[in-house]
């Protein structure tokens, strides 16, 4: 019987330690206010969690903001304010330009600082529908997968190219792990047919290109919810790896295949000590 991934619910991405850190207690700043704040916060969270890695970013809004999403930040967290577009067709113009924003530039600069201090860094990359839901009402996005398939195919291709270019920048900066998640399109939400459509129009080619540019310099980690969805519809094969999560994530050179398992945000818990899974093939 083939290996099956342990399906685990995601922890809250905006960890309480972000707002309990000394940096945030002593200032009313946005966590992304400046490069120094980002670097210091990431390091403080690492120390509070007794972690091996500094983890960035602090939320799943940065990529959407780089395409024009409205973001707000307060003591309750960092989130999308309201949609900026009304039609699926509007997405094409909005995401035709490169990913740029002051915050995303600061995060890149903070990675340089952390790497210069010989620290290991994980970047948690938002997938396409996490980004699109920051620009457009989620109901409209989901309807687009049914009624506007040709438009959505163009949108997904544009996002693939942008995210590959952004990932190339992260690898050049020395990021140790790129973790990819896209919870709005879990199979329990969109069903198997849409999971297959997204795989054909984004996921397969994205991961294949990402593995090429990573080339042992950076480990590629797939969110277990994404892996579970793809496995359930027969689009990937998984093989259990005889190594614990915390040990495996530090391998150098990094494995030249996609890794999954427990949620990467829980790697320092008892869940994070479970064995890893290797994505053996993208079909």
For 78-90, the pLDDT digits (tens) are 888 888 999 999 9
The β-bridge partners of 276 are 241
Angle between helices 35-48 and 102-116 (to 10 degrees): 60
Distance (Å, whole) CA 191 – CA 147: 16
The β-bridge partners of 220 are 178, 258
Distance (Å, whole) CA 274 – CA 5: 11
Strand order in the sheet with 258-260: 53-56, 120-126, 177-181, 219-222, 258-260, 275-282, 236-244
Distance (Å, whole) CA 261 – CA 275: 7
Among the listed residues 214, 67, 88, the one whose alpha carbon sits nearest the alpha carbon of residue 155: 88
Query: What's the whole-model pTM score?
Result: 0.90
pLDDT of residue 157: 96
Low-confidence ranges of the chain (pLDDT < 70): 1-29, 75, 266-275
Residue 53 φ then ψ, to 5°: -120, 145
């Amino acid at each position: 019987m083939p290996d099956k991934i342990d399906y685990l619910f995601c922890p809250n991405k905006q960890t309480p330690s972000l707002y309990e850190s000394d940096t945030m207690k002593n200032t009313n700043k946005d966590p992304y206010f400046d490069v120094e704040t980002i670097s210091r916060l990431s390091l403080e969270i690492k120390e509070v969690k007794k972690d091996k890695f500094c983890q960035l970013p602090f939320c799943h809004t940065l990529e959407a903001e780089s395409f024009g999403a409205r973001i707000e930040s307060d003591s309750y967290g960092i989130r999308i304010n309201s949609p900026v577009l009304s039609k699926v067709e509007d997405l094409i113009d909005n995401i035709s330009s490169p990913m740029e924003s002051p915050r995303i530039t600061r995060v890149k600069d903070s990675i340089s600082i952390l790497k210069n201090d010989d620290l290991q860094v994980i970047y948690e990359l938002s997938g396409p529908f996490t980004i699109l839901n920051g620009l457009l009402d989620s109901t409209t996005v989901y309807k687009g997968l049914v009624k506007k398939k040709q438009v959505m195919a163009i949108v997904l291709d544009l996002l693939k190219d942008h995210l590959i270019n952004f990932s190339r920048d992260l690898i050049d900066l020395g990021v140790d792990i790129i973790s990819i998640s896209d919870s709005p399109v879990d199979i329990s939400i969109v069903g198997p047919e849409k999971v297959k459509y997204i795989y054909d129009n984004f996921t397969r080619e994205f991961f294949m290109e990402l593995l090429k540019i990573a080339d042992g310099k950076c480990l590629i980690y797939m969110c277990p919810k994404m892996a579970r969805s793809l496995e359930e519809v027969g689009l990937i094969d998984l093989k259990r790896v005889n190594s614990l999560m915390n040990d495996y994530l530090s391998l150098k050179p990094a494995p030249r295949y996609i890794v999954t398992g427990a949620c990467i945000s829980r790697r320092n818990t008892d869940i994070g000590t479970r064995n890893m899974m290797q994505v053996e093939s993208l079909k």
